[in-house]
Amino acid sequence: MIGEALGTLISIVALVPIFAVVSLIVMKWTVSGDIDPLAGILTIFVLIGTMFMALMSKSPIIMGTAVIGVISLVVMFPFAQNYLDRHDLREINSEHIDRAFLELSTRHDNFPAWFKLADSLFQAGYHGHAIAIAEQTLERIPSEPDAFHNRSMRDMYRSEEIMIKKWRIEATNPKRHMPVACPKCGAKNRPGIINCVQCGAPYLLLLSRKVGTRSGAFAKLVIGWALIALLLPAAAYSSIAFPGFGIFGVVAIIGVIGGILTWIFRDPSGQPDKFRSFS
């Protein structure tokens, strides 16, 4: 009895500080606004539940997996930071696309805005659309030389012409030249068209706005990590409490973890092979 009580005390002394520190970190993220309050509260509840499950099990294996799950937050941090940095780049690029569409809505012959839109689309991974829009814009620029300056307006866009040639060399992935589905009606739109052929919606603009917010991306990371931290000791507990759990249960848990990671890192645009230029 004394030995069991001593073992429980040692477990509490070992586990509680670790879970307390991680819970305080999550609370700090929540208060600072890095993640929304609901995500922070849910994560703290998951941490508390995982800790109690580990303590109640009195199993060194379950306690060990629980600690590994919690410590994985520290290991995961560099990857999470890289993921958030890439998300910030996507968000900035989305703002550039939004601004280009706004400029073109007031003046359709704004050639710099067209090239700015093409460049932003290329950075977002829509290579076929970017090249087609840039080439169409270049064709619309007058090539007749000015008698006074002895050069044409098109001569002023030599750098853009070189940029298009460079894009054609770099853009070798055929998937990035395929028609893109409109998020509003689902119609496929070939490269070079900025408004949907079926519903007329600015589908490229709508897709670029689907990157979400930084706090939302951060919340997904935290919730995903918390779920994985919960599943690891749950799998260990199930293998002990239910002898028939066996290899099939472990495979199922791994499948769930894989699903969580897919949900976290899935393409925010909903299109295949897009936004990969930030990876």
pTM of the model: 0.61
In this prediction, residue 11 carries a pLDDT of 63
**Structure tokens that stand for 110 in this block:** 């704004």
Domain ranges of the chain: 2-85+213-278, 96-211
Of 270 and 261, more confident: 261
Of 170 and 147, more confident: 170
In this prediction, residue 91 carries a pLDDT of 84
With a CB cutoff of 8 Å and minimum separation 6, the contacts of 249 are 235, 238, 239, 242
Q: Residue 4: pLDDT above 60?
A: no
Q: What is the pLDDT of residues 214-254, one digit of tens each?
A: 777 777 777 777 777 777 777 766 766 676 665 676 677 77
Q: What is the pLDDT of residues 20-79, one digit of tens each?
A: 887 888 788 778 876 667 777 877 887 788 778 777 777 777 777 777 777 776 567 667
**Structure tokens that stand for 243 in this block:** 């002898």
pLDDT interval class at 278 (50, 70, 90) = very low
Q: Do 217 and 193 touch, CB atoms closer than 8 A?
A: no
Phi, psi (rounded to 5 degrees) for 181: -80, 135
Q: What is the pLDDT of residues 107-128, one digit of tens each?
A: 988 999 999 999 999 988 899 9
Q: Do 73 and 225 touch, CB atoms closer than 8 A?
A: yes
Q: What is the pLDDT of residues 120-151, one digit of tens each?
A: 999 888 999 999 999 999 999 887 877 666 67
Of 82 and 3, more confident: 82
Q: What is the dihedral of CA 37, 42, 48, 50, to 10 degrees?
A: -150
